[in-house]
Amino acid sequence: MNRTQSESLFAEALKYIPGGVNSPVRAFRAVGGNPFFVNRAGGSKIWDVDGNELIDYVCTWGPAILGHAHPKIISAVKTAAEFGTSFGIPNPLEVTMAKMICERVPSVKKIRMTSSGTEACMSAIRLARGFTRRDKIIKFDGCYHGHVDSLLVRAGSGALTFGHPDSAGVPAAFTSHTIVAPYNDFEAIKNIFAANKNEIAGIIVEPVPGNAGLYLPQPGYLEFLSEITKSHGALLIFDEVMTGFRLARGGAQERFGITPDLSTFGKVIGGGLPVGAFGGRAEIMDYLAPLGPVYQAGTLSGNPIAMAAGIANLDELNGNAESGNAYALLEERGAQLEAGMKDAAKSAGVPVTFNRCGSMFCGYFTGVPVHNVADAMHSDRERFKKFFHGMLDAGVYLAPSQFEAGFISTAHTAVEIEQTVRVAARVLRTL
């Protein structure tokens, strides 16, 4: 595959942009080699600057649930842009968006828009602390909530110890109120609550964690988190930046039947534009400025072009006579990919644990079941690297790390999934 143009662009980018990228995982450090540059995308495909065509299972990390450059979104963006790119004063599309979210996610009575998922999580944490008048937050090992100082914490130090910053530049004091627990572990959470009576403001969790690959909640785990927070006067915050409007019309909380106190969103609600949001119980949300004492703001929050793109995305996901039910289609494609990949791994004799929830998936190169980040670490990353590059050279783009989820869009056809599985079967035999 010729990547001459990408190589020279990357060399140029390295001169002006740290590591040549504006977000670290794009740099291919986990798989080796250099990233390629894309200047066009449509449906399930992306095209690099050298003209190579790839089937895309990254889908811009989630937002492109209808595939790239969906005509309804493109037309909504064009129309909105003609009227002005930003007003900094309320616009009608903000109200439409707020109503659409509240209607789809019944736990959300009020919602506030931000410009990224990071901001949404940062603000939800501040609000939970302000509302409960407590400082401590529980997060899970392997869950990512954006690059918020207090949430950039790896575990490693055990469930009951306080977190240590994951990044240089984050003072230890900023993470001293963050407690890290292993996901899917009931006892760890009980112990943390027992050791921190009346001090826990809330738990923030990806209901289906998708930032260390992908693994699912054990039966009863999310219900348990809901009950234990309630009984201790703490809040349950679902980070649905990745799962929201993807795993069901009402997100993971609809799929698993849980009612969190607060939720955060991003990715799909922006339809590919920079958007985030957080919302939940009205009495909590009313703690926000200008009504309440918790300050939160944003120059471009509720931006008309971003709202127009998000509204078109959510609207189209609703389905119609022509497109049918988007979520049933995504489930069908997901099941096809799962069955095919499992078969391919089996016949190649390569141990793979393939996890899937709806249109999110991850194949770990290990024979052990993966329920949390510690299990995920068993995967053979050297094998993943070879698999990744083998797939890429054959025209299939997977996320450039073993510890990222893959995404399917409604634009991925059954034929493309079949083709993907065929390529995978061939690449797996070479590992």
Ligand X SMILES: *Cc1c(COP(=O)(O)O)cnc(C)c1O
Cα separation, 164 vs 295, in Å, equals: 26
Stretch that binds ligand X, among 114-122, 214-222, 297-305, 419-427 (CB under 6 A): 114-122
Establish if 241 lies at the interface with ligand X (CB under 6 A): yes
110 as an active site residue: the answer is no
Cα separation, 182 vs 142, in Å, equals: 8
| Under 8 Å between Cβ of 184 and 221 | yes
| Coil/strand/helix, residue 310 | helix
Task: Please name which of 347, 186, 328 lies closest in space to residue 248, comparing C-alpha atoms.
Answer: 328
| Under 8 Å between Cβ of 188 and 181 | yes
Tell me the longest C-alpha to C-alpha distance in the chain: 61
185, 239, 261, 375: which one is catalytic? 239
Establish if 153 lies at the interface with ligand X (CB under 6 A): no
Stretch that binds ligand X, among 235-243, 331-339, 353-361, 393-401 (CB under 6 A): 235-243
Among 163, 260, 266, 302, binds ligand X (CB under 6 A): 266
Stretch that binds ligand X, among 52-60, 111-119, 305-313, 363-371 (CB under 6 A): 111-119
Among 54, 65, 80, 121, binds ligand X (CB under 6 A): 121
- Binding string, residues 181-210; x marks residues near ligand X by CB under 6 A: -------------------------x----
Burial label, 241 (beta-carbon count in 10 A; 0-12, 13-18, 19+):
buried
| Under 8 Å between Cβ of 398 and 407 | no
Residues 6+ apart with CB under 8 A from 361: 214, 334, 337, 338, 354, 355, 405, 406, 408
Stretch that binds ligand X, among 74-82, 219-227, 238-246, 292-300 (CB under 6 A): 238-246
Query: Least distance from C-beta 206 to ligand X, angstroms?
Result: 5
| Under 8 Å between Cβ of 370 and 355 | yes
The smaller minimum CB distance to ligand X, of residues 207 and 390, is found at 207
Among 163, 182, 207, 276, binds ligand X (CB under 6 A): 276
Among 68, 145, 177, 232, binds ligand X (CB under 6 A): 145
Query: Least distance from C-beta 322 to ligand X, angstroms?
Result: 30
Query: Least distance from C-beta 410 to ligand X, angstroms?
Result: 20
Establish if 142 lies at the interface with ligand X (CB under 6 A): no
Residues 13-32 that bind ligand X (CB under 6 A): none
- How big is the chain by its Cα radius of gyration, in Å? 21
Residues 6+ apart with CB under 8 A from 290: none
| Under 8 Å between Cβ of 334 and 359 | yes
Establish if 212 lies at the interface with ligand X (CB under 6 A): no
Stretch that binds ligand X, among 91-99, 125-133, 142-150, 161-169 (CB under 6 A): 142-150
Output the CA–CA distances (angstroms, integers) from residue 32 to 28, 47, 74, 378, 400, in the order listed: 6, 21, 34, 20, 9
45, 136, 267, 385: which one is catalytic? 267
Cα separation, 261 vs 386, in Å, equals: 43
Give the residue closest to ligand X by C-beta. 117
Residues 37-76 that bind ligand X (CB under 6 A): none
Query: Least distance from C-beta 415 to ligand X, angstroms?
Result: 29
Look up tokens 């949390």; give the residue. 372
The smaller minimum CB distance to ligand X, of residues 17 and 282, is found at 17
Establish if 279 lies at the interface with ligand X (CB under 6 A): no
Establish if 146 lies at the interface with ligand X (CB under 6 A): yes
57 as an active site residue: the answer is no
The smaller minimum CB distance to ligand X, of residues 145 and 383, is found at 145
Burial label, 394 (beta-carbon count in 10 A; 0-12, 13-18, 19+):
middle
Establish if 117 lies at the interface with ligand X (CB under 6 A): yes
Establish if 401 lies at the interface with ligand X (CB under 6 A): no
Cα separation, 85 vs 349, in Å, equals: 54
Cα separation, 206 vs 335, in Å, equals: 22
Establish if 242 lies at the interface with ligand X (CB under 6 A): yes
Establish if 211 lies at the interface with ligand X (CB under 6 A): yes
386 as an active site residue: the answer is no
**Number of residues binding to ligand X, judged by CB under 6 A:** 14
Q: Which residues are catalytic?
A: 144, 239, 267
- Where along the sequence are the contacts to ligand X (CB under 6 A)? 116-118, 121, 144-146, 206, 211, 239, 241-242, 266, 276
